[in-house]
Amino acid sequence: MANYDPNDPNKTTPRETYVEPVEKRSSPLPLIIGILLALALAYFVLTRFMGSDEAVVEETVVEQPAADATADTSADTSADAAADAAADSADAAGEAADDAAAAASDATDAAADAASDAGTAVENATENAADAAADTASDAATAAENAADNAADAASDAADAATDAANSAADAVGDAASDAATAVDNAVTTDTTTTTTGTDATGTDTTTTVPPAN
């Protein structure tokens, strides 16, 4: 195993990847369970105390009947008040649970809507980018095709011009050659002698010979 030197300048430091913590939404279920447990415990304690009061009243029934009636009335009143309080607490707990559930549902719906909106935005952006790329490619292809057509037309025009120039040059050469031949024919004459026969003033026949021109 190689020794690790923290002061080694050639050591490679491992890159740490930061992972952003994801916030988790707490569930209202533990709160509801806690409230229900507290209500049950309060009800149990109140019931236990009311049972103890009734037992004491039963033991003293023979000695103080009027006091027992008063104690029963007080116990009943306390039990009713405790029951009312427990019912109010249960109602409050139920309303709180309903509110928490409604808030959680609203938050879930909002998150779903946000995710749907984000997906729609990404899809629209992708479609717009694809359309823009397709339009750019089509425009480039059209420009290249037009340039090729223009180049072909220019090459055809140049070829026609060269052909016309060659034909004109050939015609000029032919005309010059024809003119030169005509000039040569005119310059060359046949070496002949012209003889003229006639009668002079005295009635004598005469013959005149004309030499060819030099």
pLDDT(119) > 90 = no
Question: Which of 82, 86, 89, 59 is closest to 71 using CA atoms?
Answer: 59
Binning the chain into helix, strand and coil, the percentages to the nearest 5 are 70, 5, 20
pLDDT(2) > 70 = no
- Alpha-carbon torsion, ordered 112, 117, 119, 120, to 10 deg: 140
Angstrom distances, CA of residue 125 to CA of 119, 137, 204: 10, 18, 128
Q: Mean pLDDT throughout 179-208?
A: 67
pLDDT at 105: 77
pLDDT digits (tens, 9 = 90+) for 63-97: 544 444 455 566 567 667 777 877 787 787 778 77
The structure tokens 């809507």 sit at: 113
Instruction: Give me the percent of the chain exceeding a pLDDT of 90.
Output: 13
Instruction: Give me the percent of the chain exceeding a pLDDT of 70.
Output: 65
Q: Mean pLDDT throughout 54-70?
A: 48
pLDDT(55) > 50 = no
| Coil/strand/helix, residue 63 | coil
Q: Is the pTM of this model over 0.75?
A: no
